[in-house]
Each structure stands twice: as C-alpha cells, then as structure tokens.
Structure 1
Amino acid sequence: MKPWLFALSAVILCVLLLTAYTVKTTQNKCYFDDVDYASVLQWNGVLYGGDTDSDLSGLSKGKAIGKITYSKTEHRCPRKKMQDGDATNLKTGTQLYEVNGYEPSARIWAGDQLYEAYSNPAARTLNDLLDAVGKIQTVRFISGNDGSELMDFTPEANAIFIREFPKLEYIPQEELSKQTKSWVGNLYWMEIEMKDGSTRRIAYNTMFPSFHSAYATPELAELIEQQRKLIYAR
C-alpha cells in the first residue's frame, strides 16, 4: 500500500475504532508493542485527522482556541477512550488554532499541522462536518496506487457535485460501516480541491454507493459513474 493511501486508511480506521494500539497487562504493569498511531486529536467532541498531503500555503491561522492536554505516546498505559484535548502523537502543550475561513468544527491547526474533522456527533450534513459550501473548486479522480491525478470532473458535473455533496446526510463512520458490512466493495479514490488550494482525499464505495460518512443520492451516484467512464473513453 502506498504511503498516502496507508495514512488515509489509518486515520479512517482510527476514527472507526477510536484506538489503534495493543495494550498488554501483566502483574499490574502495562506496556505496548510498536505502537504506530494514526495522527488524531479530539476537541469539543469532534475527532480530527492530520492532513499531511495538502498544499497549506493558502491557509492561515486564526485565534488560539486551546492546547493538547494529553498525548497517548507520552503514557506507558494510555487511556483507551479519547477526551477533549487528547491526541495520539502530538506533544502535550501543542497550541490549537482556528483556520481562517473555516468553522473550527471542520478544521483546526495543531501547531503548524492541519487537522480535518472525521467524526462529529453534532453534524447532520456533510457540510456540518466539512464546512465546504462555497469553498470547493474542483473534484477529480485520483489513482489508488500513487495518488496521482486521473481526471477532473467536467465543468457541468463539477457544478452538480459541488452543489449536492455538502447536502448529503451525515452518518457516523462506525454506523455506516455496520450498515454496509464493514464497507466492503470496490472503491474509487477522489480528491476535492478547495478554492484556497488545499485538498481532501475521499473514497467512494460502488457496492454501497457511499462516501465514508454519507450515502450518495441516486443522482450523485449516476454522475460519478458517468464521469468515471470518461477516464477510459479518452
């Protein structure tokens, strides 16, 4: 598996399971084996995953909103359930900031690293999760092997996607996973590019027409299939 695809899958898995480590207990002493945490933090009930692939030059920091108060990597026996202010591998004391132009429930800075929301119990639509209305520039297909660009949606299809995607009903990833037999099925890898130049990689399941946190409408599912076919028609 390619590094970027592994990183994305690791974040998704971490959100689904809320933990990605093995803890052993013997004679009242805890220790763990070669922990490789996905980069996750929790703030105001929202779980965020670290974005390591985007061009962040078009983004800027807003006001300070808090600090990391607990890091799993700093504890021999880390607690399993994450709480507000917890992170998997950020150092305790890392300053958190708003991202100018975005709701903090969608994106925050942790030091100089961007974190994007992957789970929000208060969300009702994907826009509640992503704060994407009016901010998406382009959607495209990318390679599942190396993340390279395959094809942008046509202007007409792009406009429909930009309009309809944020409206989709938000479903927590763990719930959608249960409904789709652990989200089995063929995946299309896609990338959403924002007007500020930052990007977000998403996966689309063809067996259960859905993204990780929402089912696609029939219109959107048909649109994606039509656009996919254009890759091979060129």
Structure 2
Amino acid sequence: AADTVKRVAQELGGKSPNIILPDADFAAAVRLGVEACLGNSGQSCDAPTRMLVPADRHEEALAVARAAAESQRVGPPQDEATVLGPVVSQAQFDKIQRLIVAGLAEGATLVTGGPGRPEHLNRGYYVRPTVFGHVRPEMTIAREEIFGPVLSVLSYRDEEEAIAMANDTVYGLAAYVQSTDLAHARRVAKRLQAGQVQINYPDWDTHAPFGGYKQSGNGREYADFGIHDFLEIKGIVGYGA
C-alpha cells in the first residue's frame, strides 16, 4: 500500500474494558459481560475481555462469572447443545494456551477453566471457557489481546481509578459501561479512550461508527462514516474572488 500511496483503513486488535459501576444491576451486568466476552469463542476484536468491578464486590463478581462461564457448553458446531465452538487454528489454540499459563504463572486466581481442552473433548481446537480473578493491570492477561474465551476480572477502588485502568492500554477499539443511572454511564463513557463505547449492552447498531483509537487502528466503518475513507477532498482557493 505504501509503494502506491494507497489509503489504508485498519481495524486491529483490542483489550476492551467493561466498567461495572456500583449502581449497575450487578449480577446481570457480570453475567452479560461474561457472555459478551466468550461469544464466538472469544474471537471478537471488540470483546469486553477486562471486567472492572468494585474491589468490595470482587468475590461476588467471581461467583457470578464462574456460573456464567460454566453454563457455556463447548462442542462441535453441529451439536445443537453447543454454545461455543472451536477457535480458528492450531496457532491460535497454542497462543491462547500460552497466555492462560502466563496468567497462572503471574499469580492470577483461576476461577474456572484453565489450560487444555474441555474434559469431554479429546481433539480439536476447543478451549475451556476461562475466568481469572484478582488480575493486576500489569499482568500479561490484562495487557495482551488473547482472542479466545478468557476473561480477566480486575478491581478498582473508585471511579477515577476505574477510568484510569480502562484507558491504560495500547488499544482503544471498544469500551463498555454498566449502570442503572444513564446520566452516570454517559459521564463515564465520555472519558473512555475508545472508538466505540457501549452502555448497558445495547443491540449492535450499524448506524454508529466503528473503529479504533491508538493501536486498534484508524478509519471508521458503517453508515456515512464508512464512506469518508473512499473520498478525496478538493480545495479551490480564490474561487469566490
């Protein structure tokens, strides 16, 4: 693209934060956050893979997250009971396994899941839905995009710390905010450094621009925003003279 000066729009990776505010419907917010993280076997660029919860409710969040993750049956796509299928390749399977092991080695609490395939599967690129608790911001599983069914749960002491932790990433594709007070959620959403912020798990909206900040890319998709990258601007100076 550089040789011919082609315009490039890049939709790249993410490590999207999901801030569950103290005034959220807590159990529902955690459960839906787990489901959003694990969907498509975690192979979603905008998956909310970092769940930020109040420090005094961390154990409560882990209990809900564990139940939610363990309800996601992994199996062959042709099985009607399957919720999560395999990941895309051996290379991706191996990367996910390496990062799960890194989480254990660095001292995160394994809530459910872990290395290897689910017990009822002896072959295929199937990954156990995994939840880590007591994750610290400097840990590998809190920094690197795993692109698999792995959730990291982190604690924050107050709202300012939650926002700082959410923004402390080289990525900036998406972010999520959960609150029963819409005005409160909007105030937090405005401060998050991400190309798209979703409040209270809305339906997907192709009229809203989608694309990243920082190392999550450039350009935007959807609606008229997606047309802009295909246009050239001409300025005629002196036209009105």
- Same fold (TM > 0.5): no
Question: TM-score, with normalisation over the residues of structure 2?
Answer: 0.29
Q: Which has the larger radius of gyration?
A: 2
Comparing both structures, which one devotes a greater share of its residues to helix? Answer: 2
Normalised by the length of structure 1, the TM-score is: 0.30
